[in-house]
Structure 1
Amino acid sequence: MAPRANWKGFLRLSLVTCPVALYPATSESEKISFNQLNRKTGHRIKYAKVDADTGEEVENEDIVKGFKVDTDTYIEVSKEELENVALESTRTIEIDEFVDRSEIDPRYLIRPYYLRPDGKVGHDAFAVIRETIREMDKVAIGRVVLTNREHIIALEPLDKGLMGTLLRYPYEVRDPQEYFDEIQDVKITKDMLDLAKHIVNQKSGQFEPEKFEDQYETALIDLINQKRAGKPITPKEKPAAGNVVDLMEALRRSVGGATAKAEAPKKPAKKPRKAASGQKEMLMAIEGKKPAKEATAKKPAAKPQRKSA
């Protein structure tokens, strides 16, 4: 079952309009998350919204938005006033123009969404818009209002639907010169480039997301399982950082290491872990169980007696 839509409205190309729904294309809900606890009591920490001057807790209905003008001066803006800032993109994604995908700077990409027809009507109009974008090999640029802010959205065909990627505005992208000006101009010899290219060729492959594993997430699961099983936690040694003294020698050694790895027999690829339920299955596996060695060493416990009501 698809998750709840983040936005519902209409997709329009000139006079062609269809009802659509926008869904998040990614999720981080399966990642390990932690709560903050009181070390002394083990109870969860609760945050309260308080008045900065009086220290008294403020109810949600008494909280309004404010724009800071000066140190102690704010302009209050009510929810009704914000809703009155009526933008066409609040309910409609109007396609303004079509561009080549290569023209979109990766720095402007924010996050992807799935766009599909909403309900049983409008599938024909949706298909016309989708296939036109596909046949022209273009990306459609429009605008959409999410979380009370207007965003630029880039639409491109994906299977039977459309993928919409939110884009940043120019003022949100920092000038790279602020960070790159102090990088020294270094002359690289042809021998160094040839060795580096050889390393790249040895490591070249196809991008297959299934091959990648979130090693930190796996380590967190192992840590939690060990603590639940009452096992001692031993800190791992941190890798020593080595200084590169001779760049040419380091490149030669890297080429040798890459060649050795390429010639070594390949291990069978790991089966990709199930998405969504996979993480929780790994965590729940230890619940109510004892380590195998302890289970075999101890005698089986007597069956618990049923308590009378």
Structure 2
Amino acid sequence: MHTMWKGSISFGLVNIPIKLHAATEDKDIKLRTLHNKCHAPIKYEKICTVCEEEVKPEDIVKAYEYTKGKFVVLDNEDLEALKKENEEKAVEIIDFVKMEQIDPIYFDKSYYMSPHEGGGKAYSLLRKALQETQKVGLAKIVIRSKEQLAVIRVYENTLVMETIHYPDEVRNATDVPNVPSEDKVTKKELDTAILLIDQLTTEFEPEKYTDEYRTALLELIESKRTGKETVTPSEKEAVSNVTDLMAALQASIDRTKPKKTTGTRKKTTAKVKKEA
């Protein structure tokens, strides 16, 4: 499993060298965009809004727009130094709380934690302590240039780090439009709804739920592939140097041809003397 972060977690005087591994993976089917005319992939270019020319990666800088049209440019060196300074810090568990106190809306991404060199015993100690107390640890960690709040908990005998949103990143639920302020339901309606919920209540078995749209899309793609309903980008016409050279030579010859005179030739009139 790929390691995407190395560091250490500490609580009190206990330090645990660990590695982070992505616990989930995106299985969305990536669809390419093609030109309908020739079925060639579309290329997206970075174009300057003023110069109207393509900008190379080495000519791009990062900046913060503090007001409309005004920016503070941030040097890559400054950003890298700031990132390194924070990533090299040991991640300290600052609080322990009950898991049920954290609403699921705060959760973002999940990472498996494995012990790094010499961290096996301390890893086991934290895992056992969390299991016995039925609590989770709260910590701060810098991942991909962003400081994030994280929950450390036990999942199937493995420590998991769940990054969670800060309170100011969660929008206020009171701003959601058209939410009824009062429950205008009758007791009979409520009893019927509760009965329906009871009838549909079961144990959570994640393996019985599948992405039906993704499955159907894969089947559609496969049926088109096996049915030979495929396309191939048109070949880009190769420019012939010979043709270009001949055209250039011909143009040169045409330019150097002597111009034909268009003036009329004067006629000479012979005078005949009459003999007397």
In the superposition, the TM-score normalised over structure 2's length comes to: 0.77
Letter in 1 for 2:63: G
Match of 1:187 in 2: 184
1:175-206 superposed Cα distances (whole Å, 9 cap, x missing partner): 11111564253432221122112211221111
Measured in 1, the distance between the counterparts of 2:53 and 2:190 equals 65
Measured in 2, the distance between the counterparts of 1:167 and 1:109 equals 4
3-state SS of paired residue (2:204): coil
Q: How is 1:89-100 mapped onto 2 (pairs within 5 angstroms)?
A: 90-100=88-98
In the superposition, the TM-score normalised over structure 1's length comes to: 0.69
Q: How is 1:1-309 mapped onto 2 (pairs within 5 angstroms)?
A: 2=1, 4-28=2-26, 30-85=27-82, 88=86, 90-119=88-117, 121-179=118-176, 182-183=179-180, 185-230=182-227
- 5+ residue gaps, structure 2, are 230-276
Shift of 1:128: 1.4
Say if 1:225 and 1:104 are closer, same or farther in 2 by CA, change over 3 A.
same
Match of 2:253 in 1: none
3-state SS of paired residue (1:140): strand
Q: Is the 8 A contact 1:152 1:168 kept in 2?
A: yes
Shift of 1:113: 1.0
Shift of 1:55: 1.8
Letter in 2 for 1:36: T
Q: Is the 8 A contact 2:33 2:42 kept in 1?
A: yes
Measured in 1, the distance between the counterparts of 2:151 and 2:181 equals 37
Q: Larger Rg: 1 or 2?
A: 2
RMSD of aligned alpha carbons: 1.9
3-state SS of paired residue (1:84): helix
Letter in 2 for 1:200: I
Measured in 2, the distance between the counterparts of 1:31 and 1:47 equals 21
Measured in 1, the distance between the counterparts of 2:155 and 2:107 equals 17
Q: Is the 8 A contact 1:8 1:91 kept in 2?
A: no
Letter in 2 for 1:147: R
Measured in 2, the distance between the counterparts of 1:82 and 1:68 equals 16
3-state SS of paired residue (2:176): helix
Shift of 1:88: 4.4
